[in-house]
Structure 1
Amino acid sequence: MSTPAPARAILRTANALRAAVAVATATAAVAFAAPAVPSAAAVGRGTAPSVAVVLPTPPGTPFGDPTGVNRLGVVIGSVSSGNPGDGPRAVRWDDDHTVAVLDPLPGDHYGRTVALNDAGTVIGGGTADPDSGAGHALVWGADHSRRDLGAGTSATVLNASGHIAGTVPPADPDTARRDAALWRPGGARRTLGAPAGVSGTVPSGINAAAVVVGYTWSGIPAREYQQAVRWSSDGTATVLPLAGGEQYAAALFVNDAGLVAGVQLLHGSAMYASHLAVVWRP
């Protein structure tokens, strides 16, 4: 007796499903049998790492320290020989673990990296004497190009579009203060305003809209002499309010919604005050 047409259609569908299940089962079996060694690309794109890879270093500099990693798996840091008096060299490791030295300016022998973004832009600095505190803030592009932000500058943070916050020397060379500044992706620099009566300003966070946060600094080595500051994208400074009658704070981070996180300082008998974690909401 022949099978009715509707029944034949149902059987064909069922057989197709069985075949698909069989293929999927075989594929899964092969996948589970494969060695669990992720590639560099896989690790860089979210796969949970199952192996440790020692990153290579240039000849004569066997020691390395990372300072950042972006979502594409590019790692930045420094390498050194370990010899006394031999300062660090700035480097980047690409996703395939290839190492490249990020050159400082001619005449500077030492370099360091601070941060990078997902476009591969790296900020850091270089100097002729790592113990002097003097030097130049530098920006290295994804193509390893180098840009000098000026003598006596420092680069602290950058955002995804390449805005950089850091510090610049004061206009008066007899003043010990340093002033917060913002560099736009094209290189134009704006000195960020400072509240009246402060000795210096330090940026510590930036968001996608180039809103910068940080703190004021008196130059005295005691962290209670600070005010938490937020700079709008036009450079206007606002001192953030405090809770509980305390006087001193520092703003450290800001997200793209404008939420600021930092510390409020409790006074005690110790030279350095205790910290309370605080947030300032927009």
Structure 2
Amino acid sequence: MRLKDKVAIITGAGSGQGKASAKLFASEGASVVIAEWNEENGKQVEQELVNAGYTAVFMKTDISNEENVRSVIDQVVERFGRIDILFNNAGIGFSSRSRYKMAPLLETPLGDWNQILSINLNGVYLMSKYVLPIMIKQESGSIVNNSSLNGVLGVTGADAYTASKGGVVALTRVMAVDYGKHNIRVNCICPGAIDTPMIAEVLDNEKIAKSYATNPLRRVGKPEEIAHAALFLSSDESSYITGLIMPVDGGWSVA
């Protein structure tokens, strides 16, 4: 029960890494807010957790919309009275290629560039902007941002995505410096290739799937492995850790 009596908001908790984190956090005693854009997925996760005897609530959330974010945070405080954990997990990537072009810089339309950054980077900014005053008042809190190996390595082919995730890394560091005096810790996870709906289409290509499994551990990661990293950084077990940029990538970044 490492998160007993804690209130945790997890963005993008309707699938993949966010869903795995919602289940794990709930099992560790947290009241979980499923801040998810996809209403069907969000309600399904809520029902699964409630049926298992956990405290969970779905709130439809567009992390790129300031008024919606403000409203969601107000609802969370009204219902639970506090916010202890924010896992900024939501984002778009390869699974959104039908909506936004994932390409090198010269081939990326400005509109797609802006939309990708508005979700992947602005979403972290907006959620943090409205959660931080609550945590400052409490003089405690943990924020975990989900970036990507693209944020720390020169991975080609999706430059807007890479820029957005690099921004999350930089924002993590400055937030850790700014808000440590309020006993608020801010850390960042940088996943490698994780078997989630975001890259399911890519993993269907045997050649690409094999290339993803060339890390020292010779496999693609599981959503639960990101969830456990997020749990550690959210819990008191990491109480003296802030500003950490943690690759969870099977050793890909050091190979």
TM-score by length of 1: 0.29
Structure with higher Rg: it is 1
Larger % of helix: which? 2
Larger % of strand: which? 1
